[in-house]
Amino acid sequence: MVTDIVRQVAGDKARVEGIIGQGVDPHLYKPTRNDVAALLRADVVFYSGLMLEGKMTDTLIKVARSGKPIYAVTELIDEKYLLEPREFQGHYDPHVWMDVQGWMKGVEAVAKALGEYDAPDAAVYEERAKAYVAELQNLDGYARKVIGGIPQKSRVLITAHDAFNYFGRAYDMEVLGIQGISTESEAGLKDLNRLVDLIVERDIQAVFVETSVAEKNVRALVEGARARGKSVVIGGMLYSDAMGAPGTYEGTYMGMMDHNVTTIALALGGQASPLGMQGRLAPARDKGKP
């Protein structure tokens, strides 16, 4: 998602190389020797921040000490906006891209940083950022409209881990994850049983798997509910900590969020075109929908 922001703002003024790619969990990713070499030869380095890239922290510190300009795209976000779950040991929830309005601040941060590094082209970065933010405003409006069309009692989003809390706050959904904020946490039998009870009691129709997190816990929920006489389906696969394949619409932040919003709405009783906001989503059968 960070790579995509930088590409949108930099345009043809830079060659942008992403380190963490499709389907990769940033919470657990360990940089390779080639990754470190790429970071050290870059002119400017961007990362998400808020402890998302936990196992890359030492590497990012080394790069910063080398004198390399390095920026967290979340650095301009006001602390009052950030969520601080009790179970996350006093740290902020890093999944701010799940609220399109929040991720717009990342666009602003990238434009500011590129303007500082390449002052002669600062106005170019600012204009590109403004144009991209206008597109994101449309995406945010689409999310509010489509999620708002889900019946109120059905606005419960159950996923593999707690990556959707900002999404829930922004678009008025109750969000429940099997694992915690970081996928390093483990889900226990008690957690699974608690969610099975909730699925049965509230007649929840669908739960969701994620592209960057193992499916086993979500499938255990489905089986647990079935054992209690409740049929619940896997409503689709959501992009949480990584986007889709490079070169696809879902491989952009815009496409990732369009996919998530559309998939959630259709599974929970809302109204949306299966092809999404721009008519560009790949059919579910082409994505290996469970």
- CA atoms within a 13 Å half-sphere pointing along the CA-CB vector of 82: 19
Query: Tokens 């933010």 appear where?
Result: 133
Q: Return the minimum-mean-pLDDT range out of 97-111, 136-150, 157-171, 178-192.
A: 178-192
Residue 283's pLDDT band, with cuts at 50, 70 and 90, is: confident
Task: Report domain extents, the chain.
Answer: 2-144, 151-287
- Residue-level pLDDT at 284: 66
Helix (H, G, I), strand (E, B) or coil at 283: coil
CB 190 within 8 A of CB 246: no
Whether 151-287 and 2-144 are alike in CATH topology: the answer is: yes
Q: Where are the alpha helices (DSSP H) in 50-121?
A: 57-65, 100-117
Residue 101, both tokens: 């309005």
151-287 falls under which CATH superfamily? Answer: Nitrogenase molybdenum iron protein domain (3.40.50.1980)
Q: In angstroms, rounded to a whole number, what is the distance separating the alpha carbons of residues 51 and 53? A: 5
Residues 195-253 have pLDDT tens digits of 888 888 888 999 998 876 767 888 888 889 899 998 889 999 999 888 998 899 999 99
Find the range with the poorest average confidence among 21-25, 33-37, 277-281.
Answer: 21-25
Give the pair of three-digit tokens for residue 153. Answer: 């009692």
Phi, psi of 17 (to 5 degrees): -120, 125
Query: Which of 6, 32, 10 is closest to 18 using CA atoms?
Result: 6
Task: Look up the CATH number of domain 2-144.
Answer: 3.40.50.1980
